[in-house]
Amino acid sequence: MKKTKIVCTIGPSVSDYEAIKKLVLSGMDVARLNFSHGTHSEHLKVIKNIKEVSNDTNKKIGILLDTKGPDIRIGEFNSTIHILYDNEYIFSVDKGKDIIPLQKDISEFLKPKDKVLVDDGTLIFSVIRIDDHDIHLKALNEGYLRQKVSINIPGDEYCPSAVTENDVLDIKFGIKHDVDFIALSFASTKEDIIEAREIIKEDQGEQWIISKVESNYGIKNIDDLIEYSEGIMVARGDLGVEIDLSKIPSVQRSIIQKCNLKGRPVIVATQMLNSMIENPRPTRAEVEDIASAIYSGADAVMLSGETAIGKYPIESVEMMVKVAIETEKELRPRSEYGPSKRVADVISSLVAKAVLLSDVKAIVTSTRSGYTACMVSRHKLAVPTYGMTNNAGTARKLSLVWGINEVYLDKEKGGISEAVLHAAKYLKSEGLHDNDLFVFTAGVSNSKTQRTNLLEIREIGEVLSS
């Protein structure tokens, strides 16, 4: 069984019940809904299908709402425009003849000689001058310009709030329909996350915020983004336009390492199996890309167009599963992460040591929020690890955490003795034997702010007979 989690983008190719069920049975753990496209009514149909499949397959599938964010796009026009090298063009929010329309004004963020990248860098322009809202640009290459494509401004000048008015409506919609994760597009500062968190709290939601790193600002403020978020997505599409492509591997690896240190789930996204949108087999480079992300310590890898609009969505998931299983055979446990003042961090390190020093067959962490499960997960232990919780939302959130299998109890766990008994019974049902050892962690406290502070190594038969 794979330990790396797989996030699949739901789109026209896989939006109905049967298609989603096939994705789940093939290995999907989290379903991503891209709110850059579609209406609320369309997304609601998909959410209902995901939840129905989750119930029918008895598997907790996480739902990730990916916000549109403050993206910049070309406006609408009738036909494709042939862009000629070295010709001058005018981009503007003002209408007029020979003007290429913009959806929003960006003139204040530009100056002469700045680069403007259009359609994920397919077309490159250089700013000549700014006349009020009119941006005069020189084309640095030839190509065809379509309406509504993306625009990127490399550098540090453009840094709006990551939460737009439309995003607020989308987040509230997600809270109402009980999605599990809010992926915050173009998150750049801790203030972006605080703003999103206030919206969630206002509507009494408990969604995890996954900050998408896709700009220079996001990279510069990565420590704050990790500290204030529940997880991180390395969104390599826009990031690859914002920074030099040659820097992507080192930036990705650095972000993963920082997330592992803090126990934050981290997703590596964009074009992982891009060739499988059209072809039934991936390239060798794509397979290496997936393996590299897993070796580096990623919790999850993500499929975008491969499942949303691709010809081979199921085959893409199956390929990702195969690569994950083979790569995980070579992963080594990570037992040391340095000193910490948090008891749960110390407990998770002791769990890793217990596994490495004794013949432990499984780990069970009793968790309310999922935090301890995340801290245990970062050690990348080979033994089966279970997050036991009576919170259905937490069980679904664990679908994003490397190596954690959720165990949902639809009743209160009671005291520690009862929780340990639940754990032993479950492990026995999973095929373990009476003389097998397992590690159990939980929180023992009379306060409402219960924290993990207990670790036991127990024998299954001894627990069941007591």
Q: Check if 212 is active-site.
A: yes
Q: Check if 425 is active-site.
A: no
Q: Check if 32 is active-site.
A: yes
Which one is catalytic: 212, 236, 264, 458?
A: 212
Burial class (CB in 10 A: 0-12, 13-18, 19+), 112: exposed
Beta bridge partners of 338: none
Dihedral sign for Cα atoms in the order 447, 450, 451, 452: positive
User: How does DSSP assign 330-393, residue by residue?
Assistant: T----------S-HHHHHHHHHHHHHHHS-EEEEEEE-SSSHHHHHHHTT--SS-EEEEES-HH
Which one is catalytic: 67, 270, 327, 372?
A: 270
- Which SS3 state, helix, strand or coil, does residue 124 take? strand
For residue 176 the two structure tokens come to 């109402």
Which one is catalytic: 5, 32, 264, 413?
A: 32
d(CA 37, CA 56): 28
CB 228 within 8 A of CB 206: no
Residue type present at position 175:
I
Q: How many CB atoms sit inside 10 A of residue 72's CB? A: 18
Residue 276, CB half-sphere, CA atoms under 13 Å: how many? Answer: 26
Q: Check if 367 is active-site.
A: no
Q: How many CB atoms sit inside 10 A of residue 396's CB? A: 26
Dihedral sign for Cα atoms in the order 243, 245, 247, 248: positive
For residue 399 the two structure tokens come to 């679908």
> Cα dist. 407→109, 308, 354, 366, 370 in Å?
50, 29, 22, 9, 12
Burial class (CB in 10 A: 0-12, 13-18, 19+), 146: middle
Which value, to the nearest 10 degrees, does the dihedral of the CA atoms of residues 311, 313, 318, 322 take?
Answer: 80
Task: Report the Cα–Cα distance between both ends of the chain, in Å, rounded.
Answer: 32
Query: What single DSSP character describes residue 281?
Result: S
Which one is catalytic: 3, 5, 73, 197?
A: 73
What is the biggest distance separating any 2 CA atoms in the chain, rounded to whole angstroms?
A: 84
Beta bridge partners of 92: 101
Tell me which residue has tokens 């042939």. 82
d(CA 462, CA 460): 6
Tell me which residue has tokens 């996954």. 210
Q: Which residues are catalytic?
A: 32, 73, 212, 270
